[in-house]
Amino acid sequence: MSTVAGTPSEQGIEFFGRMTASISHEIKNALAIVNENAGLLGDLALLMDKGRPLSPERLTTLAGNIRRQVQRADDIIRRLNRFAHSAHEPAASVDLGEVLAFTLALAERLATMKGITLSLAAGEPVTVEVRPFVLENLLWLCLEQLFAAAGSGATITLAAEAEGGSALVRLSCSAGTEVAAVATGVEEGAGRPLLAELRARLGVAPAGGELLLHLPVRRIG
C-alpha cells in the first residue's frame, strides 16, 4: 500500500484492488473444493463400475460438502457485490457498527494471513453521515498498519460508540502495541485525504494499545 498521501479516489482504487484480489482468492478456494468434490464423485462412480461398493451416506456427505462451499462462495460474492456498490454510493446516514462489521468481513482473510484475529465489540447503535466506502478505506488503512504493529497472534477489536455530539471508533490491541506510530503513519501517509474528506481525526487512548478514530456525526456542505 502506498505511503504517499494521494487523493481519495487514488486511495479508493488501491483499496478496491486490494480487497477484490483477496475476495477473488477466497472464491477460488471455494471453487477448488467444489471441483475436487465433483471430481471425487466421478472417481467413486468409476470405482463402483469396477465393483467397489458406494454407500448412500458417502454421496450425502459429498453433496453436503459441495452445498457448504457453494454457500460460502455465495456469501463471498454477496460481500463483493455490496463492496462494489459502496464504491459509488453517495454520503448517507449509516450505522457505524454495521460499517465496522462489514470492514472486518472484508479484512478477515488478510488478517488471518498475518495470524491476526479480528473481532467486533457489541455496543449501542451510532449513526454517522459518511460515504461508507471512504470510511471502510480509512479503517482498512488503520487495520493494515495495526497488523504490522501488533504482529502475529494478536487480536484487534473494533467498537463504535457515541462521543458527545460525535462518534468514536476504538481499535484495540494489546497494551504494548505502538499505536501512536500507527496513528502518525495513517495521518501522514495514505490516510490523510480520507481523514480530510471524513473530517475525522486519529488519536491514541492514554492507557495505550488503542487507536481512536473521532468522526463527526453529520457532514457539512
Partner 1 sequence: MSEKVLLIDDEKDFLEVMSERMQNRDIDVTTASSAREALALVEKESYDAIILDLQMPEMDGLQALERLKAINPELQVILLTGHATVEKGVQAMKLGATDVLEKPADIQTLTEKIHKAHARKIILVEKENEEKIRAILGSKAW
Residue 137 dihedral angles phi and psi, to the nearest 5°: -60, -45
47 makes contact with partner 1 (CB under 8 A): yes
74 makes contact with partner 1 (CB under 8 A): no
Which of 115, 120, 116 has its CA nearest to residue 104? 120
Residue 131 dihedral angles phi and psi, to the nearest 5°: -85, 110
Give min distance, CB of 79 to partner 1, in A: 17
69 makes contact with partner 1 (CB under 8 A): yes
Q: Which stretch binds partner 1 (CB under 8 A): 8-16, 27-35, 163-171, 177-185?
A: 27-35
Helices (H), the chain: 8-49, 56-86, 96-113, 132-150, 179-188, 192-198
33 makes contact with partner 1 (CB under 8 A): yes
43 makes contact with partner 1 (CB under 8 A): yes
- Spell 34-59 as b/e; 16+ CB within 10 A means b: beebeeebeebeeeeeeeeeeeeeee
Closer residue to partner 1 in complex, CB, 21/59: 21
1 makes contact with partner 1 (CB under 8 A): no
Give min distance, CB of 85 to partner 1, in A: 25
176 makes contact with partner 1 (CB under 8 A): no
Which residue has cell 477466497?
Answer: 26
- The site for partner 1 (CB under 8 A) is made up of 21, 24-25, 28-29, 31-37, 39-40, 43, 47, 65, 68-69, 112-115, 152
